[in-house]
Amino acid sequence: MYSPEDTEMASTAGTLDSPVKQIQIEGMVVLKIIKHYQEEGQGSEVVQGVLLGLVVEDRLEITNCFPFPQHTEDDADFDEVQYQMEMMRSLRHVNIDHLHVGWYQSTYYGSFVSRALLDSQFSYQHAIEESVVLIYDPIKTGQGSLSLKAYRLTPKLMEICKEKDFTPEGLKKANIGFEHMFEEVPIVIRNSHLINVLMWELEDKSTVADKHELLNLSSSNHLEKSLQLLMDRVDDMSQDIVKFNTYSRNLSKQQQQKHQYLQRRQQENAQRQSRGEPQLPEEDINKMFKPPQPPPRMDTLLIAGQVNNYCQNVKEFTSQNLGKLFMAEALQGHN
């Protein structure tokens, strides 16, 4: 089911003038990411790792990756930077590309638009212009099709993060909506000839997959969880909106008070002038009426982006399930 937003997102992805227009991943990297999540990510929230590769013309080729250990409390003296440096140095000895080109992260039902992700991606993109973040969705993959997406921050968002100006005025100037925060880069998987030979061998030797998860009809479990997360986010959003409304109400009330005070001052001064007394000194208005703090808009943007993501996922899921239901109907019809 294609909605107008889908086509709009697709068109913005096509017309971006970023340095990276396509991502090419080696099959081995995909397998490594899957394995990493499978082994280490069952209990905790996310697993992360580093992507290595190089940039060729307008393509970003990812040729290897290595995982990051989990952050555990009893490992406080663990130095991430040192681990990374050692890993890359060792990999260089075996002729593996040691250029850092991005990082990957697993997600739970599509909830990855968070402040932490934004900060990390910003620091990566600031240091290395072509870096991307790969989001791997293990639950969607478990349902039958590999779910791997690559995102970068749009140049507009980069500007804003650089200035750290998250007030409403700043965001209005840059004209950023939640759709323009991340841009998705299309992914292509490429295998060398030798790996292709390996694939033939594997197909020969291993049994046919007996689990066709993609054609599974049960949907309520997944839908429930997705909707639960969506509802939580919408609640957060509504709280945020309430905050913003109170702020703007306070602001307008304050404007009114200032106005009234000024008027009264002028009237008094006019009266005193007519009576010949000295005028009252002009007091600093700003000190009397402290303007209320404008709430930071960045969280709202993030929540809106997250809600958007959930909705997209839910829509994709429902469209697939509708197709499956119609197929099941056809099957019953012949019985």
Partner 1 sequence: MSVFGPVVKIHPVVLASICDSYERRNEGASRVIGTLLGTIDKHSIEVTNCFSVPHNESEDEVAVDMEFAKNMYELHKRVSPTEVIIGWYATGFDITEHSVLIHEYYSREATNPIHLTADTALQSGKMNIRAYVSAQMGVPGKTVGVMFTPLSVKYIYYDTERIGVDLLQRTRMTPGRTKGLTSDLSQVAGSASRVQDMLTTVLAYIEDVLSGKVTADNSVGRFLMDLVNKVPTISAEDFENMLNSNINDLLMVTYLSNLTQAQIALNEKLVLL
Token pair listed for 162: 């650089």
Whether the Cβ atoms of residue 170 and residue 163 lie closer than 8 Å to each other: yes
12: contact with partner 1 by CB under 8 A: no
Residue 176 exposure: Cα atoms within 13 Å on the Cβ side: 29
Going by C-alpha positions, the residue among 88, 120, 92 that lies closest to residue 105 is 120
State the CB neighbour count (10 A cutoff) for residue 98. 17
State which of positions 58-97 bind partner 1 (CB under 8 A): 63-64, 66-69, 78, 83, 86-87, 90, 93-96
Minimum distance from CB of 267 to partner 1 (Å)? Answer: 34
Q: Which of 1, 10, 285, 288 binds partner 1 (CB under 8 A)?
A: 1
Per DSSP, the residues of 30-55 read: HHHHHHHHHHH-SSSS--EEEEEEEE
Q: Which of 10, 99, 116, 241 binds partner 1 (CB under 8 A)?
A: 241
The site string for partner 1 over 126-155 (x = CB under 8 A, - otherwise) reads ------------x--xx-xxx-x-------
E strand segments, 173-310? 182-185, 187-190
Minimum distance from CB of 272 to partner 1 (Å)? Answer: 42
Minimum distance from CB of 46 to partner 1 (Å)? Answer: 14
The site string for partner 1 over 305-324 (x = CB under 8 A, - otherwise) reads --xx-xx--xxx-xxxxxxx
CB of 126 or CB of 190, closer to partner 1: 190
Query: Which part of the chain contacts partner 1 (CB under 8 A), choosing from 127-135, 206-214, 262-270, 271-279?
Result: 206-214
CB of 35 or CB of 259, closer to partner 1: 35
CB of 81 or CB of 278, closer to partner 1: 81
Spatial separation of the C-alpha atoms in residues 261 and 256, rounded to whole Å: 9
Minimum distance from CB of 252 to partner 1 (Å)? Answer: 14
Spatial separation of the C-alpha atoms in residues 150 and 205, rounded to whole Å: 33
State which of positions 16-55 bind partner 1 (CB under 8 A): 24, 26-28, 30-32, 34-40
Spatial separation of the C-alpha atoms in residues 265 and 169, rounded to whole Å: 31
121: contact with partner 1 by CB under 8 A: no
Element (H, E) at 135: strand 132-136
